Amino acid sequence: MTLIRDLPLSALRALTAAARTGSLTRAAEELGVTPGAVGHQVRQLEDRLGVKLVRRAGNGIVLTRAAEAALPDIDRGFDALASGLRRLRFERRAETFTISADPSFASLWLAPRLDRVRSALGRLDVRIVASVALDSMLEEGVDLAISYRNSSAKNLASIDLFTERVIPACAPALVRKRPWPDAAETLDNLPLLHIDQTMGDDIYPRWRDWFAAAGRQRKGLDQGPRFALTIVAAQAAIAGLGALLASELVLRRHLEPGQLIEIARDVPALTIRRRLVWPTHAPKARRAAAIAAQLAEVASPEIDGALPR
């Protein structure tokens, strides 16, 4: 038992990688370390066990007879270890209810309202994670997603949460001297800030979509700073770096005190529909449906009359 406890897992992993690839170099590439590190770990294991494990053969290595005999048991040991870790992860998931949402929405809307769904959560601890692809919810251990993404995945149920206006906004100083801040032409020359669809978790319409809806053209529509999070982009807009196209719900905390103002109001606002989505065959599917219903009930009086459905 002492021998097993004292063996370094990294050295055993180096040995199995070297055996599988037949090369210290390829084993190092697989493990993300240097060939020297792999060789050192194997020699360290040999010294500790008092038995030769590998020998050089041309440009590669081969296992000794002792190592070949032991390797199947070592592989089974790693498989058993992985199985045990999966079981621990499953047990942890069984005690939690995981909700995924984009960080901006999670921090500004979801987190302050978690106490309203406490009865549906029961004894489960809630865990909030960043957005995941809807078709990978089961794989990622997500019980409920708040998303405006579309998915072709089967076995997903959903209900609408609400529809949000996506509006252009900027710091008041940027348009203070402009005679028509509510006109679409206000945005013809302002610098533009972007929510990066490839970097971040927000999939708002782009400036290109807004200008198309306004029936206007402008050069450099894709130029300007890009942000992974709307809450960070909003701070750049408050600092006067440019106009931002984002959810009114996320920007509301800055619109009400006048840090940002909605501009170009003569163009009808673009919208996004946020939904509550859960896997119907997941272990917590019934719990997810109950929590989704409570969140939708919480949202209804707050959104009705403020945002179009």
Distances (CA, A) of 293 to 12, 120, 279: 50, 9, 15
pLDDT value at position 1?
Answer: 41
Distance CA 174, CA 105 (A): 26
Q: Dump pLDDT digits (tens) for 165-183.
A: 999 999 999 988 777 788 8
Cα dihedral angle (117, 123, 127, 132), rounded to 10 degrees? -80
Identify the residue whose tokens are 């509301």: 252
Q: What is the CATH number of domain 94-159+275-296?
A: 3.40.190.10
User: Which of 17-21, 84-88, 179-183, 230-234 is most confident?
Assistant: 230-234
Q: Which residues contact 203 (CB under 8 A, 6 or more apart)?
A: 148, 149, 197, 272
Judge whether 2-92 and 163-271 match in fold. no
Question: 246 near 137, Cβ under 8 Å?
Answer: no
Q: Dump pLDDT digits (tens) for 125-147.
A: 888 988 888 888 888 889 999 98
Q: Classify domain 2-92 by CATH architecture.
A: Orthogonal Bundle (1.10)
C-alpha closest to that of 268 among 218, 209, 224: 209
Q: pTM of this prediction?
A: 0.62
pLDDT at 239 over 90: yes
Fold for 163-271, please state it. Answer: D-Maltodextrin-Binding Protein; domain 2 (3.40.190)
* Averaged pLDDT, 208-237: 90
Q: Where are the domains of the chain?
A: 2-92, 94-159+275-296, 163-271
Which percentage of the chain shows pLDDT scores above 70? 86
pLDDT at 260 over 90: yes
Confidence of residue 245 (pLDDT cuts 50, 70, 90): very high
